[in-house]
Amino acid sequence: MKVTRNLPEQLIIENRPWVISLALVAGWALFFAIGLSIFLSGQPMGLIFMAASVIPLILIYFFARRTQVLFLRPEGRLIFRRKTLLGSSQVVHELNEVDQAIVQQSSTKDGGATYRVALVFPEGQSAGTHPLTLAYSNFSDHHGMADTINAWLDSQQPTA
C-alpha cells in the first residue's frame, strides 16, 4: 500500500498488486506455452499442462484486487473502493466514526509474520475492525501507513 495523496482535506491510499498480478500472468503463460509445445509435438499430455494454466488465472481473481481508500474531510466520508477482474464495489462510512488505524499481524508456522493495516470503528453502524486489504503481506511499511493515517485523522476534526 502507498499514499498517493496526502493533503489536509484528502488522504488517498492505494494498493495495486502489480508484482503478484505479473507473476501470475507469467505463470499462466509459462504453463500454457509448455503445454502447447508438448501437445504440438504429438503428446496428448500437453493438454494437462494447458488445463493447469487456468489455475494462475483463477488466482488472479483472488489476489489481484486493487484497493483504494479515500479519506475526504470536506464531505466527512471514508470510501473503500475495491476492484477485481469481474467488477468493483464501494463502501462509504462516516469519517467521524473512525477512531484509529492499527496494524494486524498474522504469524506463520515457521515463525514469520505478515501484516495488514485496519481501521477501528469503536461504535456506530460500522462498529468493528475493517482491514484496508483482505490479504496480509510483508511487502510495505504497514506501521508507517498506520502512523500516516493516524496523523491525518488527528490533524484536524472533520469540517462537515
Name residue 107's beta-bridge partners.
Answer: 113
Helix (H) or strand (E) holding 123: none
Asked if residues 156 and 144 have their Cβ atoms less than 8 Å apart, the reply is no
Q: How far apart are CA 72 and CA 48, in angstroms?
A: 50
pLDDT for position 86: 80
| Residue whose grid cell is 498506520 | 146
Domain ranges of the chain: 2-16+67-155, 21-62
Asked if residues 78 and 72 have their Cβ atoms less than 8 Å apart, the reply is yes
Q: Is 13 helix (H, G, I), strand (E, B) or coil?
A: strand
pLDDT for position 151: 93
* Neighbour count for residue 62 (Cβ, 10 Å): 12
Please give the single-letter amino acid code of residue 151.
Answer: A
Residue spans of alpha helices (H) in 41-141:
46-52, 54-63
How do the pLDDT tens digits run along the chain, 160 residues long?
Answer: 888 999 989 999 998 887 888 899 999 999 999 999 999 999 999 999 899 999 988 888 777 888 899 999 999 999 999 888 788 889 999 888 888 999 998 887 887 888 889 999 988 777 888 898 877 887 778 889 999 999 999 987 544 4
